[in-house]
Structure 1
Amino acid sequence: MNLSRRRYELPHVTRVLAFLFVLLTAVLVLPASPASAHAATVGSTPAPGSVIGTAPSEVTVTFSEPVTPVEGRVQVIAPDGERISGKVQGGGTVLRIPVRKAGKPLGTYLISFRVISADSHPVGGAITFSVGAPSARPEEPAATTGPHASVAVAVPLLKSIGYAGVTLIVGPALFLAFLWPPRRSRAGALRTIRIGLALTAAATLGALGTQAQQGSGAPIWTLTGAEFTEVLASQYGLLLLGRLLVLGALAVLLPPLLRRPRRTVTVSQTVPTPVLVGAGAPAPEPTPAAKPKPQVKPRKAQSWAVLGLGAAGLATWPMTGHAIAVPLPAVTITAGVVHMAAMAAWLGGLVTLSVFLLRGTHERMLAVVLPVWSRWAMLAVIWLVMAGAVQAIIQLGSVPALWRTDYGRLLLVKIGILAVVLAAAAGARRMVNRARNGSGLRRTVGVEVVASVLILALSSVLVQVDPGRSAAANEKSISGQGVSETLTSDLYTVQFNVYPVELGEYNTVHAFLYRPDGAPLQAEEWQLSARLTDPALESVKQPIAGILPGNQALGSLEFPLAGTYELVFTIRVSEIDRASVKTTVTVGR
C-alpha cells in the first residue's frame, strides 16, 4: 500500500468544532440538575447553629452524596475542648456519631469531620451547636481545614507525571506499530515506552501513598502501614492496583510486539527460459522468479490483548475522579477514556516526531509518513474535542459556571491554550501539504509540544477542583452560621438562635427561657415581632409558640428585604407579669 497516495474522507474540522460549540452552548443553557461531584454538607442533627436544652446522645451529618469517613477524623468536641465522640456508625450519605455526656455540658459544641467523597476527593468541615447557652467556639482540629502543604503539592505533580507517562507509551507505540520508517532504529522509541511505563507506575504508587494523607490532612512522611493497607482495600486502591497490573502486563507484551517484525519469505521457484534450438547452443541457466515481498507474521492475539489492556488501564483515571460521581457515570467514564486516549496519541505522536523522526529521516520517507500522521492527528483532535465537550457539558452544568467557578475559569484557560495548539497544528499541516519538512516544521511541532504540556499541567489541577456543577450543592451546604444571643430582663433570661439569617421566610428561631437564678421557666405566652429599621417599616408579628419541655419555644422569621431588623421578644410568665427584650440582626449585607 502506498501511504502517500491513500486518501481519508474526513469531516471539515471547522464544521465539526462549530457543531460542538452549538451543542455545548445549547446544553449549558438548560436548567442544571443537582450536583453530585464533591460531597457537600446539607444537614445535621442538631441543626447547625442551633441551641438545644440538653446534650444529645448522638449527632448526625448529612451529605449530598455517599461518603466514607476518615478513621479518627470525625469527632465531636465539647465546650471545654474534650473529645466526647465514639466510633462513627452508618454509611451512605449520613454519618451517625454517638457522643457521651461532657464534663461541662453547657456551651457550644463542635462537630469536626473529614470524609472521602464518591469521586475519591477529601472533604472537611465543621458544624457548631449549643446546649443551654452559646459559648466560645471550641478550637477546630487543623486536619479538617485542608490537606497538608506537602500533599497539596504532591497530588497535582503526581497526576502530571502519570499523564506524561501515558503519552510516552501511546505515541511511540502508535508510530512503531504503523508508521515507523524501515531503516530507522527502534531502540530509542522502545526505551521511551519503558520510561512511560515506569513514570505511570511511579505516579500510581504515589497516588496510593498520598490518598490516606489527603483524607487525614497529615504530611506525606507520616504515612503508616495501617493507613496504606486501608487505602489498598478501598475501591480507589483496588482500581489503582488494577492499573499497576495492566502496566506490568503491557511491559511484557509491548516490546516484543513493537520490535522489528519477524518476516517469513517463501522459497522462490525458478522459471525456465526458452531453449534455443541450434547446434552447439549452450543450455541456459534457469532464471529466478521475481523475489516475493516479505510477509509479516500475524500477531493478532497479542495486539487485541494490548488494546484491551490499554482501554482498561485508561478507564481507571475517570473511575477515580469526577466522572464516577455524576448522574451519567457511564457516559463520562467513556468520554474520559476517549479524551485521554486521543490526547496521548496526539501529544505522544508529536513527541515521537520531534525527538526521533524529523531529524535524520530521509525526506522521501517523511513525505510518506507525515501526510498520514497529519490525518491521524486531525482525527485525534476531533475525538479530543468531542470527548472534552461531553465532559464539560456534564461537569459545568450551566453557562455562568464558566466564569463563576474555579473549574470553569481553569477550563477557559485550557481551551485558550488548546486554540494555540490547534493553530500551530494547522500551520504544520499546511507545511506538510506543501512538502516543507525543514526547520520551520520542527519549530511548529515544538510549539505544539510545549503548549500541550501546559494543557497536561492544567488538567492535573483541573481534576482536583470542584466541578462547576458542584457549585449549586456547595451554595446550599450548611455553614453553621446563624445568630445566637442571650437577652435579660428583671423577670427572665431568654436565649435564642436564628438560622440561617437570610432573605426570605425560611428562618427558624429556637428560644429557651430561664429564671434570673438560671432555673428553667415555663412561659404562659410567647410573642415575637420583627421591624426593619433602615428604611423604617412597621413591626410585623412573627409566629412563635411554646413546645415541650415547657421552657422552649419554636417559630419562624421572615426577612423580606436586606437590612437591619429589630427583634422584640414579649414573654408573659404569669397572669400579670410580662416583659419585653429586644436586639437587632443584619440580613443580606
Structure 2
Amino acid sequence: MTVDRRRASAALAGLLLGLLAVLLGPAGPADAHAALVASDPGSNTIVPDAPNKITLTFSESVQLISGKIQVLAPDGSRADQGDPQANGSTVTIPLRSGGGRGTYLVSYRVVSADSHPVAGTLTYSVGAASAPPTETQLDQSVDPVVRALIPVGKYLGYAGLVLLVGPVLVLALLWPHRLSRVGPARLVWTGIGLVLGSTALAVWLQAPYTTGTGLFDVSADDLQDVLGSTFGAVMLVRLGVIVAAAFLLRPLLTGAGGESRADLALLGVLGVAALATWPLTGHPTASPVAGVSVVVDAIHLAAMAVWLGGLVMLTGFLLRRADERELGAILPIWSRWAATAVTALVLAGVVQALIEIASFKGLFQSTYGRLILVKVALVAVVLGLAAYARTLVRNRTAETGPRTLRRMVLAELAVTAVVLGVTAALVQIPPPRTAEASETAATSTTITQTVSDDSVSLQVDVFPATVGNNSLHLYAYTPDNKPLPVVEWTATAALPAKGIEPIEVPLLRLTDFHAVGDIALPMAGDWTFKFTVRTSDIDQSTLTMTAKIS
C-alpha cells in the first residue's frame, strides 16, 4: 500500500469513527415528529359534566399502539373502556359513564405518519380540580440504546444502497469485458447484505422504539404489531424487492452474459420500488405535499446511490485495473453521469429542505436546520473536489492523471461518508414545521380562571384568548363545588389601558349553571371581564377577573 493510499484510508477511517461517535453519543429526549394540537376536553380545563369520550387531534395522521392509551380517574382507577379508535389525525377514547368529580389523567403513546412514537399526558377536571392521579402512568420514554441504534441502522442501509445501485449500473453499462467481476460482485453482495440486515434491524428496533421497552424486551406480539403497521408493510416490500433483485443480478455479477434487456429493465423497476420504501417510512409521508416529498426524496436517494456507488467502483477498481484506452472511453461518460446525479441531488435536497424547514427562522434556530447547513457545507466541499476531478478527466496525463484522480475520489468518498451520517441523523430529528405546529398548539389554549365570593364560585374559560373572535364559557358552583342554578347571567369586557369601555357579552344559558357567549376582542392586552350572576330574586354576585389576550 502506498503512502497516499495509507493516508487516504486513515482519513476515511477517522471520519467514519468520528461519525459513529456522533451517532452513538449521549441520548437526549425522545424526538416526536407529530404534535398534539387539540383535545376535547381541553388540557387543564374544567368541564361541568363527565364526558363520554376524549378526542385527541394531532398535526398528522397517527396509528395506535396496543395498550398504550389510558385515562385514569381521580381515584387512580381506569376511566376508559373499550378500544380507542384512530381516524387520520384524530384519536377517540371511549370513557365509562358516570365519572366522578375531580382531575383525570390522560396518557397516550401513538405512532406518527413518519414512524416515530408520539407520547404525552394531559389532564382535565370534572366539576372542580383535584390532585391528579399518579399511579400506573404509562412510560413516555425511549430506551437510549434503541434510540442510538436507529440512526446507525439507517446509515448501514444508506451504505448498502451505495454499494448496490452504483456498482450495478457501472457493471451493466461501463465495465470492460476483459476485467474480472469478482471484486465488484463482492461489493454488490455486501450492499445487498447491508440493505437486508439494516431492514431486519429496523423492524426489530421499531418494536421497542414504539412501545418504550428495552432492546431485548421485544415479544412476538410486539413484532406482529410492527409487521401489521404501515412501517412493517413497507419493510416487507423492501425485503421482497431486494431478494428478487438478488436472483436477477447473478448473471450480471458473474459475467456469464445471461442477462437480457428484459432482466435489466425489471431490475430497474425493482430498483425504483426499493428506493421508494425509504421515503415511505420517513418525513416525506407527513409532509404537507406528501406526493411531491416522496418523489423528491426517492430522486435524492437514487442520485446519491448512483454518484457515490460509481465513485467506489472508480477508485476501487477501474482506476487501478483499466488501461489508458478503456479509461479514455469510461471517464468522460462517468463524468456526465456524475454531473447529472449531483445536479439531481442538489435540486432534490433544496426542495426537501424548503418543505421541511418551512421558514427562514427554522434554518438557524432548530437542530434540523443547523444540520441542513452542515450538510450543505459538506456537499459544497464535495462539489469542489468533484469539479477538480472532472478537470483531471478532461486534461489528464498518463502519469499523473489516474493517480491524482484516485486521491480526489477518495477524498470525495471520505466527506460524503460524513454526509450520509448527517442524513441518518436528520431522519431522527423533528423538522421545524413539526415544532411550529407544536408551538401553535401550545399558544392556542384556553384561559381558565376561577373567581369567587362567599356565595358563588365562577369558573371562566376564554378560548382561544387571542385578538379576534373568542368564546366564553361560564360555570357556576357553590363554595363547596356543587352546581349552582343561575337565574340570570350578564358579562362585559373592557380594556382600560387602551381606552376601550366595557363591551357587553351576549350570553346563552345552556344549563342551570352553564352559560356561553361570543365576543370579538379588537386589541391585545389585559382585558377586564365583569360578570353578574343572579341566583334568586334577591341574591346576586358581581365578580371581576383579568385575562391576558395576545
Taking the aligned partners of 1:404 and 1:218, their CA distance within structure 2 comes to 32
Q: What's the offset of the Cα at 1:351?
A: 1.9
Of 485, 488, 503, the residue aligned with 1:525 is 488
The residue that corresponds to 1:94 in the other structure is: 90
Alignment-mate amino acid for residue 573 of structure 1: T
Matched, 1:452 2:416: yes
The residue that corresponds to 1:551 in the other structure is: 513
Taking the aligned partners of 2:345 and 2:516, their CA distance within structure 1 comes to 57
Q: Kindly report which structure 2 residues correspond to 1:163-562, keeping only aligned pairs within 5 A, or say none.
A: 163-262=158-257, 299-326=260-287, 328-359=289-320, 361-403=322-364, 405-435=366-396, 436-470=400-434, 473-477=437-441, 481-501=445-465, 503-532=466-495, 535=497, 537=499, 540-541=502-503, 543=505, 545=507, 547-556=509-518, 561-562=523-524
Taking the aligned partners of 2:481 and 2:341, their CA distance within structure 1 comes to 75
Residues 50 and 510 of structure 1 are in contact (CA less than 8 Å); yes or no, is this contact kept in structure 2?
no
Cα-to-partner distance string for 1:507-558 (whole Å, 9 max, x where unaligned): 433232223344422223333344557x575653452635232112223566
Cα-to-partner distance string for 1:151-185 (whole Å, 9 max, x where unaligned): 32122221111111110112222222233345543
TM-score (norm 1): 0.79
Q: What's the offset of the Cα at 1:202?
A: 1.1
Matched, 1:578 2:536: no
Q: Secondary structure at the residue paired with 2:455?
A: coil
Of 114, 122, 125, the residue aligned with 2:117 is 122
Taking the aligned partners of 1:140 and 1:124, their CA distance within structure 2 comes to 17
Pick the structure with more helix per residue.
2
Q: What's the offset of the Cα at 1:251?
A: 2.4
The residue that corresponds to 2:155 in the other structure is: 160
Asked which structure has the greater CA Rg, the reply is 1
The residue that corresponds to 1:270 in the other structure is: none
Q: Secondary structure at the residue paired with 1:73?
A: strand
The residue that corresponds to 2:20 in the other structure is: none
Q: Kindly report which structure 2 residues correspond to 1:21-170, keeping only aligned pairs within 5 A, or say none.
A: 39-86=34-81, 87-89=83-85, 91-100=87-96, 105-139=100-134, 145-170=140-165
Q: What's the offset of the Cα at 1:563?
A: 4.6
Taking the aligned partners of 1:398 and 1:342, their CA distance within structure 2 comes to 26
Taking the aligned partners of 1:343 and 1:202, their CA distance within structure 2 comes to 20
Taking the aligned partners of 1:342 and 1:510, their CA distance within structure 2 comes to 57
* Greater mean deviation of Cα atoms: 392-401 or 380-389: 392-401
The residue that corresponds to 1:293 in the other structure is: none
Taking the aligned partners of 2:426 and 2:489, their CA distance within structure 1 comes to 53
Taking the aligned partners of 1:564 and 1:331, their CA distance within structure 2 comes to 45
TM-score (norm 2): 0.84
Q: Relative to 1, partners in 2 of residues 1:378 and 1:506: Cα closer, same or farther, differing over 3 Å?
A: same
Q: Secondary structure at the residue paired with 2:160?
A: helix
Q: What's the offset of the Cα at 1:144?
A: 6.5
Cα-to-partner distance string for 1:405-445 (whole Å, 9 max, x where unaligned): 54444333322221111111001111221114254323321
Identity %: 41
Cα-to-partner distance string for 1:277-332 (whole Å, 9 max, x where unaligned): xxxxxxxxxxxxxxxxxxxx662232222222211111111222233344554433
Residues 507 and 518 of structure 2 are in contact (CA less than 8 Å); yes or no, is this contact kept in structure 1?
no
Q: Secondary structure at the residue paired with 2:511?
A: coil
Taking the aligned partners of 1:432 and 1:141, their CA distance within structure 2 comes to 67
| Corresponding residue pairs, total | 515
Q: Secondary structure at the residue paired with 2:187?
A: helix
Q: Relative to 1, partners in 2 of residues 1:565 and 1:204: Cα closer, same or farther, differing over 3 Å?
A: same
Residues 566 and 582 of structure 1 are in contact (CA less than 8 Å); yes or no, is this contact kept in structure 2?
yes
Taking the aligned partners of 1:168 and 1:412, their CA distance within structure 2 comes to 26
Alignment-mate amino acid for residue 378 of structure 1: A
Taking the aligned partners of 1:558 and 1:137, their CA distance within structure 2 comes to 34
Answer 1 or 2: higher relative contact order, Cα 8 Å, separation at least 6. Answer: 1
Q: Secondary structure at the residue paired with 1:222?
A: coil
Alignment-mate amino acid for residue 158 of structure 2: Y
Q: Secondary structure at the residue paired with 2:123?
A: strand
Residues 307 and 341 of structure 2 are in contact (CA less than 8 Å); yes or no, is this contact kept in structure 1?
yes
Note the aligned Cα RMSD (angstroms).
3.0
Residues 546 and 553 of structure 1 are in contact (CA less than 8 Å); yes or no, is this contact kept in structure 2?
yes
Q: What's the offset of the Cα at 1:349?
A: 1.4
Residues 107 and 137 of structure 2 are in contact (CA less than 8 Å); yes or no, is this contact kept in structure 1?
no
Cα-to-partner distance string for 1:430-461 (whole Å, 9 max, x where unaligned): 12211142543233212211221222122222
Alignment-mate amino acid for residue 508 of structure 1: S
Gap regions ≥5 residues in structure 2: 1-31
Taking the aligned partners of 2:139 and 2:522, their CA distance within structure 1 comes to 36
Gap regions ≥5 residues in structure 1: 1-36, 263-296
